[in-house]
Structures are given as C-alpha cells and as structure tokens.
C-alpha cells in the first residue's frame, strides 16, 4: 500500500506522570505513516485527491502542544483516532511518539511508543 511519511516532527508539550513534566514541559517527536492509495493523486496532480500535509501537521501540533496526557501511549492513540476520524482517504496509520530524555534513571537516548491503527478496526 502507498504511504505518506512525516518524519520527526518536533513539538513542545506538557505530558507525563510526574509533576515536573507537566510544569516544565519537554520535547516530543512525532512520526506518522499514512497508508492509502495515492494513485489518483499521482495521476490528477490535485490536492483534493490526497491529504494536505499542513493539515496533518496542524493536527499533530494541536494534540501534542495544546492537550495534556500522562502517558505517551495516550498521545499516540489520540493522534491515530483524530487522523482516522478526520481523513476518510486514510486506511491505516502508524504513529510513533518519541520522548527524548525521559526523567528516569539510566543512559539511553529516548523512549518511544509506536501504534498502528486501521480503519477496519477503528469503527468496530
């Protein structure tokens, strides 16, 4: 299946289970893979036959920067739901939300949540 990829969109959000995270905020990276048939858009060269990249970006920005969640899993689920609800062309979405430098002991670059949701399972 065809796909459109959004790689490492960076946002500032106030998500987390610890009070400091909700007060100070932190960076989050979002990657999206939108699966749907792009052949009509490829042939027509018409924006109406695909999704507007700017609209997808604004959707992700709104969720990460304006809403608050304790869990990164909740951010990913909200993104997947909003995209499937708002863009009927999209059959499936893969969402990856990365939290660099989480406030837990150890040496690593980041933690990330990745979920895949499909239209078939969305309205079940």
Which positions are catalytic? 99
Judge whether 97 and 78 are in contact, CB under 8 Å.
Answer: no
Q: Report helix, strand or coil for 38.
A: coil
Judge whether 13 and 65 are in contact, CB under 8 Å.
Answer: yes
Q: How many CA atoms lie within 13 A of 86 on its CB side?
A: 16
Q: Tokens representing 65?
A: 């920067």
What does DSSP assign to residue 14?
A: -
């Amino acid at each position: 299946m065809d796909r459109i990829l959004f790689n490492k969109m960076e946002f500032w959000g106030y998500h987390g289970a610890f009070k400091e995270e909700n007060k100070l905020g932190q960076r989050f990276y979002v990657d999206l893979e939108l699966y749907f048939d792009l052949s009509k858009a490829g042939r027509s060269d018409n924006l109406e036959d695909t999704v507007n990249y700017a609209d997808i970006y604004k959707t992700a920005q709104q969720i990460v920067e304006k809403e608050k969640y304790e869990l990164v899993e909740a951010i990913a689920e909200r993104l997947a739901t909003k995209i499937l609800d708002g863009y009927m062309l999209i059959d499936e979405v893969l969402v990856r939300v990365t939290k660099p430098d989480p406030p837990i002991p150890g040496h690593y670059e980041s933690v990330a949540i990745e979920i895949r949701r499909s239209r078939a399972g969305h309205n079940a």
